[in-house]
Amino acid sequence: MKKEGAFNLPSLRMSTRVLFSGYLLVMGIGILMALAQIMLTHGMADGEIGVSVDDIVYSYHGNRNSSKLEVKLNGSMQDKASEKDKTLLVKWAREGATQETWKDVQPIFEANCVACHSSIPGLPHFTEYEATAEVAKTDMGASVDSLTRVSHIHLFGIAFIFIFLGYIYSMAVGINEIFKSIVMAIPFGFIIIDISSWWVTSIYPGFAWFTIIGGFGYMMAFAVMWFTSMYQMWIMPRNGKAYDSNEWFK
């Protein structure tokens, strides 16, 4: 049976293992930060901690019985203003968010919102009536502009993460080649499912389940490749011999 060459995870020299492990550690921390960010944004869309189908629907399809301002104040932004200020802002939105009454709520926006909503790209500027009034309209979910912006960032970024992670994992030994190939292909398929579901959910809320399925799929593939690679580089015994890729660990 043909043996693998020496360039596999258990046989890597120290400097290469350090290089690969540094990348894996940073990506692992990055994934944890991404999960935290999801919990604090999409995960709070319905006002409760934890990602649910309702969170996905509110984030992409919107809450057609309310304004985006009200949804945010009762969800991910609920700790950014006092109950009194939130009540006044919701009342302003429900009463039509007219320019005549803008002067009554403008100080509230300046005190609670403008610090972020004037400096962070992609967020509406609450220093101007027109931008604020847009947020006070009925929540129609994510716009085409925002979906396009976030989609291309995720497609490029996640693809780069998994091409390097997949390259490292491809040097794992003792794993059936077909199984290994499936694991490496899963993230690319599921990220397409995930991001496609954002667009479809913005029209048909029932597709929100696919966002959860897509995210879960590539996160599981990440975990398999990450732990396998770290184990084979640092824990699995190395005896200098070539390893057989079609048999379990020798």
Instruction: Please enumerate in sequence order all residues whose Cβ is within 8 A of that of 96, keeping only pairs 6 or more positions apart, or say none.
Output: none
- Residue 30 confidence class, pLDDT cut points 50, 70, 90: very high
Q: What is the pLDDT at residue 182?
A: 96
pLDDT score of 127 more than 90: no
> Do 118 and 95 meet the contact criterion of CB atoms below 8 Å apart?
no
pTM check: above 0.85: no
Rg (CA), the chain: 24
Mean pLDDT, the chain, rounded, equals 84
**Residue 215 to residue 217: CA distance in whole angstroms:** 5
pLDDT score of 98 more than 50: yes
Query: What confidence tens digit (pLDDT) does each residue in 44-64 have?
Result: 665 666 778 888 888 888 776
The predicted model gives 70-97 an average pLDDT of: 81
**Residue 39 to residue 242: CA distance in whole angstroms:** 44
Number of Cβ within a 10 Å radius of residue 132: 23
- Residue 181 confidence class, pLDDT cut points 50, 70, 90: very high
Question: Which DSSP symbol is given to 237?
Answer: -
At residue 230, what is the residue type?
M
